[in-house]
Amino acid sequence: MKKVATRFAPSPTGPLHIGGIRTALFNWLYSRNKSGEFYLRIEDTDKERSKDEHKTQIINSLKWMGITHDGEEYIQSEKIDEHVKIAKELLEKGYAYKCYCSAEEIEEQKKRAKQKKIPYVYDRKWRDISEDEAPKNIKPVLRFKSKIEGSSILKDLVQGDVEIENKTIEDFVILRNDGTPTYNLSASVDDYYMNMTHIIRGDDHKINTFKQIQIYEALGWDIPFFAHIPLIHTINGKKLSKRDHASTLEDYSKIGILPEALRNYLLRLGWSYKDKEIFDLEESIKYFNLEGIGKSPSKLDMSRILSMNEYYIKNCEENSLYEKFREYCDIYKDKIKKEKEYSIKSSLIFLKNKAKTLEDIFNNSKYILNDTVTFNESDKNLINDEAKKIINLFKENILELNVFDRRNLEEIVNKLIKSNNTNFKGIGQPLRISLTGSRFGPGIYDIILSLGKDEVVKRLSDIG
RNA sequence: GGUCCCUUCGUCUAUCGGUUAGGACACAUGGUUUUCAUCCAUGAAAGAGGGGUUCGAUUCCCCUAGGGACCGCCA
């Protein structure tokens, strides 16, 4: 049994979106599950559209998700010579031929096909014409001589047997007229040289697979296993594209989604293991298999991502949650000031129970992060003279406190409830508003303790 | 239009011929609570339609409908 090897092969012609990330995740998980290898191959042979910034974005995205590849990144454009060599070999062996059709001629064929409402397939014109008749002014492309008779069966590890008539596969171009290789050739050659055992990729590659298998066969190479996973659809049921809202990783990281939450969500999107919903990293690797992959496309569901994230935040130990939060603020908000660090850190225990995202934590901790209180106007209006009186009484009481702790604070509050003939709300609400600017927020004792006596007195004095 | 794929609650899914069709998210209601949340309980919610096969079909087969992917000298 050969050692399992998988790869993720994105093209840097646009930012990597969440569908690509899932493909990468599945490949990675599969290889890890089999104690195999996982490689990253950058398919940058489209010189026009490939951009370095996208390559960087792809690599950073994978890194953020914790998907690590073995060895160096494989840069496809560096291997073009190999691909051309194989193309020549195919020509010599009679598996390919030069096609002298002009671009106009091909356009014409396509137009006609469209008019007649019949599918366009290259008419294989030059397949059997002698090269002696070739026009001198046209640089030929190299086409693969596809099978015409019979049909082929793809034994897909997800979809089962897929049968297709060979004649529906056209004689596809393997070398452009500028001598550069095209995708199907390059991908096949690379996969072969990289010793790939399993090709796990999006459903949209299925036709390519039939082409690539023919190349393998022509060269006498062992054919790897293929698994075509269903695509992720938008809420409108269409293939997810780079242009769709909330499709790149950055769209998620900037609102404070944790990579482990997204990983768990993506894992369960189109894959399942019994009724299990939560998979930590170890479990993901342990349970992942191809059998659990569903056949139908699935839609992205933001509320599910959010609730998964909420779960991971709640179950994250405070110190490591602080690190994540600090990093998040560094990148997307303001750096946390040194003197606020302790206070934030010790508040996470209650802050995290109110948060679905790191951004929620940020919003709920603004009263600590900022030195001045920003009031919600309608909330501020709730502070009437009666409320001010209580605020002042409370302030006087804590001023006399030697030990500033929860028990003593509770005692004061209870005393004030009695002496002022009010209820908890009558005290808690004005305090919360004057300390945080809003009537919504963490528990009042949590707020007071996280701010510290001096700051509390200062803020109460400002309003009272 | 051609080829191929798909179809269980709104969403993600379990079920591998016999179940009151299960879970999770979202939603609704109630409870706990110190506001907002959390948490807990309860509820509503699904086999696209039609034929077969079978003692019995969500499950196997066929047809129809709906949805999707591909149809580049892009990857």
Is any atom of strand B within 7 angstroms of residue A398's beta carbon?
no
Residue A2, pLDDT score: 85
* Six token digits for residue A96: 């390919």
From the Cβ of A457, is strand B under 7 Å away? no
Question: Which nucleotide across the nucleic acid strands is nearest to A12, CA versus C1'?
Answer: B75
Residue numbers in A 211-240, CB below 7 Å of strand B: 230-231, 233, 237-239
The reply to whether A275 has its C-beta less than 7 Å from any atom of strand B is yes
Q: Which residues lie below 8 Å from residue A229, measured CB to CB, with a gap of 6+? A: A22, A23, A26, A158, A200, A201, A202, A203, A270, A293
Q: What is the pTM of this model?
A: 0.95
ipTM: 0.96
- Give distance CA A232 / C1' B7 (Å): 16
Q: Is the pLDDT of residue A27 over 80?
A: yes
Which CA distances in Å does A136 have to A60, A98, A101, A132, A140? 48, 13, 12, 10, 10
Nearest nucleotide by C1' position to the A271 CA atom: B13
**Which CB contacts under 8 angstroms, 24+ apart, belong to A338-347?**
A340/A368, A340/A369, A343/A368, A343/A450, A343/A451, A343/A452, A344/A368, A344/A369, A345/A318, A345/A319, A346/A450, A347/A442, A347/A446, A347/A450
Q: What is the pLDDT of residue A395?
A: 96
Per-residue CB contacts under 7 A with strand B, chain A residues 34-73: 43, 45-46, 49
Q: What tens digit of pLDDT does each residue of A56-75 get?
A: 999 999 999 999 999 999 99
CA Rg value for chain A: 31
For residue range A115-141, list pLDDT tens digits in order.
666 666 777 888 888 777 778 888 999
**Residues 315-344 of chain A in contact with strand B via CB under 7 angstroms:** none
A296 nearest nt, CA–C1': B6
In terms of Cα–Cα distance, which of A68, A67, A64 is closest to A259?
Answer: A64
